[in-house]
Amino acid sequence: MKKSIISLLLVIVLLLSACGQKTETEEGKDVDDILQKPQITGDETEQEDEAQQEDETQQVDEMQQENEIQQEDEIHQEDEGSAPLKVGALFSPDDTLDPTTVTSPGGMLLMMSIYDSLVSMHYDGPTLRMAESIEANETLDAYIVTLKEGLVYSDGVEVTGQDIIDSLQYIAAAPHYQSMYGNLDFDKTTAEGNQATLALKEPISDFIESVLAMWSPVAKGGIFDGIGAGGYVYDKGDPQTGYVLKANEKYYAGKPAIPEVTLLNIPDSASKARALQTGEIDYAWGLDAAAVQILSQEDGIELQEGSLDGATALELVLNTRVAPFDDPEVRYAAKLTVDREKLVTTLLGEYGEIGNDMLGKGFATYPEDIEQIKMDKEEAERIFAEKGITEITIVTSDTIPGLTNATKMMVQDFADVGVNVTVEELDPQTFFAQMGELYQKSAFTFYWMNRTPLAEFRSQVLKDSPYNVSGYYSDLTEESFKKAITTNDKEEQATYIKNISQDIHENGGELIWGYQKDISAQRKGLKTETNQSVPWLATATFVPEK
């Protein structure tokens, strides 16, 4: 009985394999048919003739070759188009589609992709994006923004001048944007068609570079609900699981080359690097030195050094309100004491640049010709001894990772010149809440996002600047600044900027020892430009290398 069952099973198996072979053969024929269909029509009746068959076989071979070449060409053509892109970045759990609430780098990338900007900032000056033109009046207290012809949102509705006003008004009401847009006078601002006239409370010549180019998103009626005129359209997702963005077919510069972008929340820098290694993402945005080390020897991955226009300026604030740094000579001695090269090499590696106590490094108007302050411990020791300075206090906090380590390294530098440093460490979460107390301390660590010199001067070096943390100002800086922002002559403006920079370089209370650039890594084949280190995905292309 068992034998008969086994024999039956064997027969079934043999039959099935025979059928399988037949099917394979038929399938093979089908494939050939598909390949030959355009060329073999009308010749099927002559297939019995062997000679003809040989000819046909030859023809088929040739056609197959042609088809293969054609297919290769098609694949190549497909390669010319960009592939979907997966980006790893850091998001905050409460990020939304409203730019006034976004606090994370990933959130900013999302915002810029959806809403775009009227103007963007490049190290050599502003670049018009949604705006066709921006013109200032003669008195520099009004700017006429004209939108690109036919500019529409992703849902097809036209973008209007009134939308610009509504959007900027909404943004300006947000507490952390108030200082940036505070000079806009919305009572006098008007709109007509695709034009908006932005009135200012006082004349400013650098309104485009210092305000609009920082970021000026536009949404319908100023309601930022995810519909913008940017290169991408929000499809689905949330900050925890990531977002999917689809290319905006109505984008003013044409549909973006990359058809779909997936943004994933990857908080850990090393995890981003590992995901890039395994091919789970194509672009890791915002990496630390350890992650860079992981990726430095990987084939097929490019490390992208961020530009200075999106860098972070790291500094020691020498508080001019209290002794001993109320004395310009003591401030100068401190500037000669710190070994900037060692700090940058140790803490920032090859992705840092040495600072020269001036703001806006990397931008076109930054006065590069002012001599770099060099360490001179002998001279510093002499000044400190002459002034009888033997003790100072530095308050530090890792508001940006590395500031506490930098302070610890400075302690040795100051010890070398006979000054004992007492370090007080503060919780980064409460550091800014204690600015009143900090202004009573001799020195403290700080950081700035690098912006144009004029934008930095406005917020930091004037008597009424909201962020004048060192407390230093002078008649020269005040007068030069007023002249710089009210002149239309770029050369004249550059001279004033240089005067201010020279003054704060020599007498100011900000010891800017380094600039930390953002580092990203990407799969080879991705080409993208950045705006203050945020990649513009709308103009990017991605053809991954095989």
Partner 1 sequence: MKNKIPEKLKQASLVKLVLTTFKILFLWFLAIFVLYLLMEILPGDAATNKVGKEGPEAVAALQQKMGLDRPLSERFFRWLRGFCLGDLGKSLLSGKNVADIIKTPLISSLSLALIVFAGLVFITIPLAVYSGYYKNTFSRLLTKTAVILSALPEFVLTVLAIMLLCMKLKLLPVLSVPGPGLTVWQNPVSMLMPSLCLWIICSVSMFRHLRVMIESYAKSSYVKEAFLAGLSKNRVLFVHLLPSALPGIAQIMASTVPYLLAGSMVVETLTSYPGMGYTLIQAVYSRETPIVMGIGSFLIVITIIFYTLADLLAGRSIREEEIV
Binding footprint of partner 1 on the chain (CB under 8 A): 88, 92-96, 98, 101-103, 175-176, 178-179, 235-238, 240-244, 262-268, 270-271, 274-275, 277-278, 280-281, 427, 429-433, 435-436, 466-467
Smallest separation (angstroms) from partner 1 to the CB of 94: 4
Q: Interhelix angle for 328-337 vs 377-387, to 10°?
A: 150
Nearer CB in complex with partner 1: 221/432: 432
Identify which of residues 96 and 541 has a Cβ nearer to partner 1 in the complex.
96
Structure token digits, residue 306: 């961020």
Half-sphere exposure of 98 (CA within 13 A, CB side): 9
> What is the length of the chain?
546
Distance of closest approach, residue 317 Cβ to partner 1, in angstroms: 13
Q: Could you give the C-alpha distances from 318 to 257, 265, 323, 389, 514, in angstroms and in order?
A: 49, 38, 10, 14, 15
* 112: three-class secondary structure by DSSP: helix
Q: Answer whether 305's CB lies under 8 Å from 517's CB.
A: yes
Of residues 136 and 266, the one with the C-beta less far from partner 1: 266
Residue 91 Cβ, how far from partner 1 at the closest point, in Å? Answer: 10
300 contacts: CB under 8 Å, gap ≥ 6? 523, 524, 545
Cβ 81 to partner 1 shortest distance, Å: 22
**Is the CB of residue 220 less than 8 Å from the CB of residue 500?**
no
CB of 126 to partner 1, least distance (A): 25
On whether the CB atoms of residues 339 and 413 are closer than 8 A, the answer is yes
Whole-number Å distance between alpha carbons of 27 and 542: 36
Taking the least distance from each CB to partner 1, the nearer of 27 and 268 is 268
Whether the CB-CB separation of 340 and 418 falls below 8 Å is answered with: no
Q: Which is nearer to partner 1, 141 or 315 (CB)?
A: 315
Q: How far is the CB of 537 from partner 1 (least distance, A)?
A: 15
- Distance from chain centroid for Cα 291: 18
CB of 421 to partner 1, least distance (A): 24
Q: In the complex, what is the shortest distance from the CB of residue 245 to partner 1, in angstroms, rounded to a whole number? A: 9
Q: In the bound complex, what is the minimum distance in angstroms from residue 423's beta carbon to partner 1?
A: 19
Contact 100, 170 (CB under 8 A): yes
The distance of closest approach from Cβ of residue 280 to partner 1 in the complex, given in angstroms and rounded to an integer, is: 5
Strand partners, 407: none
Q: Which is nearer to partner 1, 124 or 424 (CB)?
A: 424
Min dist. Cβ of residue 236 to partner 1 (A): 4
Nearer to partner 1, 98 or 288 (CB): 98
- A 10 A CB-CB count for 70 gives 12
Computed over its alpha carbons, how large is the radius of gyration of the chain? 32
Taking the least distance from each CB to partner 1, the nearer of 64 and 271 is 271
Q: Which of 229, 244, 211, 45 is nearest to 150 (CA)?
A: 229
Q: How far is CA 18 from CA 9, 11, 12, 24, 424, in A?
A: 14, 10, 10, 10, 84
Asked if residue 366 lies in contact with residue 209, where contact means CB atoms within 8 angstroms, the answer is no
Tell me whether residue 102 or residue 344 sits nearer to partner 1 (CB atom). Answer: 102
Which of helix, strand or coil describes residue 306?
coil
**Element at 127 (helix H, strand E):** strand 125-128
Identity of the amino acid at 408: K
Beta strands 519-523; 352-354: pairing state: unpaired
Cα 540 to chain centroid distance, Å, stands at: 13
Strand residues in 158-275 grouped as ranges (E): 190-192, 195-199, 232-238, 242-247, 260-265
Closest to partner 1 by CB, 197 or 265: 265
- Which of 275/512 has CB closer to partner 1? 275
- Given the complex with partner 1, which of 320 and 493 has the nearer CB atom? 320
Shortest CB 437 distance to partner 1, Å: 11
